[in-house]
Structure formats: structure tokens, C-alpha cells
Amino acid sequence: MHRHGHRGFTLVEAVVAIAIALTLAMLAYSNFWRLRPRAHLSDASSELVALVHGARQQALATGHNVAVLVFPAYAGTYGTGRVIVYEDGDFNLFSAAANPNFTTLNPASPAHGPNSTIVATWDAPATVAIGPLNGAGATAALPAPYATIPVNVDCSFCGNLADRRGAVVFDARGNATFYSNVGIALPNLTGGSLSLAAPDVAGQRTLLVTGATGSVSLWNQGG
């Protein structure tokens, strides 16, 4: 009776197994880098929604105006776009006579009044930006109650001067008012939009704020 020992891998079998493992690793690596920009865009969008929603909650809790100040063209350390949450306890951020005021506020080093405070600052990461300016990733108009809010620009309430700043201000009731870069309230706006985009991801993520209720929502547009 012959006794058979355990047969080990042959050299050919070992080479084939290593080749298969390397192929699977390369596919996983490729998928990781392909999905990474989309994940960054989703994460940045979620952070921005949380920031704006938190500003509204701050206004409800304190009874102060809380402004979400948007600087689409701000060139940060990593990406383009800065958002600052400013609790306006002095109720004068949009008064031309105040110092500081929104028109002259320096987003790189924002000052604040004696009864006001900078609540938070958010910068777009390296792979994400506020934009695109022409809303190239936007789809058709959204359904009610958002149908009248423009989504074909990076920031529907921002001004057209060099830094294109704009603001959403939540009052003590949670309602929203929109301001352009010159610090004047924009009349008859039903709401405003702010979009984020990434160069390797189709479409854009658009944050919407309604004026009457101040509700905040996020829409995935075009990809």
C-alpha cells in the first residue's frame, strides 16, 4: 500500500495565484481612485448642509441673526471657496455704517462686532469647489417648492463683482433672507441655491434654502 503525501503548489500554480491576486488588487485600487472624487464631493456636500442647517438652528436658539457668508472665488490652502457662519448679535452686519460690515469683511481674517462672533469657517477641499459658475452640471428645474430657485449657477444669490460674495441670513424665526455682495437684501426671492462640483465627477450637488421657511435640502444633479 502506497502512502501519498500532501502535494504542494507547483511553481506555475504559485505564479498564477500571484498574478490573479495582483490583478484583483489593481482592479480594487483603480475602483478606489475612481470612486474617491465622488466620495469627496458627497462628504463636502454633507458638511456644507450640516453647516447651513446648524446656522439656522443657532438663529432659533439665540434669537440673533445668523448669516451664512459665501465666498465662491476665495482661494484657500487646498481648494476654491469659503463659507463663514457669522452670528450677528449686533444686528448690523449689513449696515454700510457698521465696522465691520459684509461688503468690507475680509474672508481671510474676518473681524466681528462686540456682540457678534464667528461661529464656523468651512473651506472647500482640494478636489471640490463651489461651482461651476455656469452650473454646467445642473439638470432641468427642480420640482415645487424649489422650481423657482435658479440652479444653473454656482451661487444664485451671490454678486457679480470680483469675489462674488453673497449671504443667507436666518432670523430668530428661522426664515431666510438673501444678500448680494453689496450688502443689500435681494427682494422677492423664494430661495437660493449653492452648488459644489468636482472635476472628475459628473453633475453637481446643489444645496437649496427656501426663504419663507428657511428649510435646507441637498439635491444630486446630473450625475
Query: Is 198 or 182 the better-scoring residue by pLDDT?
Result: 198
Residue 216 domain-assigned? yes
pTM over the 0.85 mark: no
Residue 6 domain-assigned? no
- CA distance linking residue 76 with residue 101, whole number of Å: 22
Residue 157 domain-assigned? yes
| Domain CATH number, residue 112 | 3.55.40.10
Residue pair 125/82 in contact by the 8 Å Cβ criterion: no
pLDDT digits (tens, 9 = 90+) for 45-83: 999 999 999 999 999 999 999 999 999 989 877 778 999
Distances (CA, A) of 125 to 7, 36, 154: 54, 13, 16
Indicate the pLDDT class of residue 23, thresholds 50, 70 and 90.
low
Indicate the pLDDT class of residue 209, thresholds 50, 70 and 90.
very high
Residue 12 domain-assigned? no
Name the grid cell of 78.
487646498
Nearest to 107 by CA among 122, 94, 90: 122
pLDDT > 90 fraction of the chain, expressed in percent and rounded: 45
Q: Looking at the 3D structure of the chain, how many domains does it have? A: 1
Flag the least confident range among 16-20, 40-44, 181-185, 192-196: 16-20
pLDDT at 35 over 60: no
Which positions ≥6 away from 70 have C-beta within 8 Å?
81, 83, 130, 155, 157, 158, 165, 166, 167, 168, 194
DSSP letter, residue 186: P
For 175, list phi and psi in degrees, rounded to 5: -75, 155
pLDDT at 163 over 90: no
Handedness of CA 87, 44, 110, 166 (dihedral sign): negative
pLDDT digits (tens, 9 = 90+) for 103-137: 999 999 999 999 999 999 999 988 888 877 666 65
- Residue indicated by cell numbers 459684509: 102
Name the grid cell of 8.
504542494
Residue pair 145/210 in contact by the 8 Å Cβ criterion: yes
Using DSSP's 3-state secondary structure scheme, residue 25 falls into helix
Domain that holds residue 85: 40-221
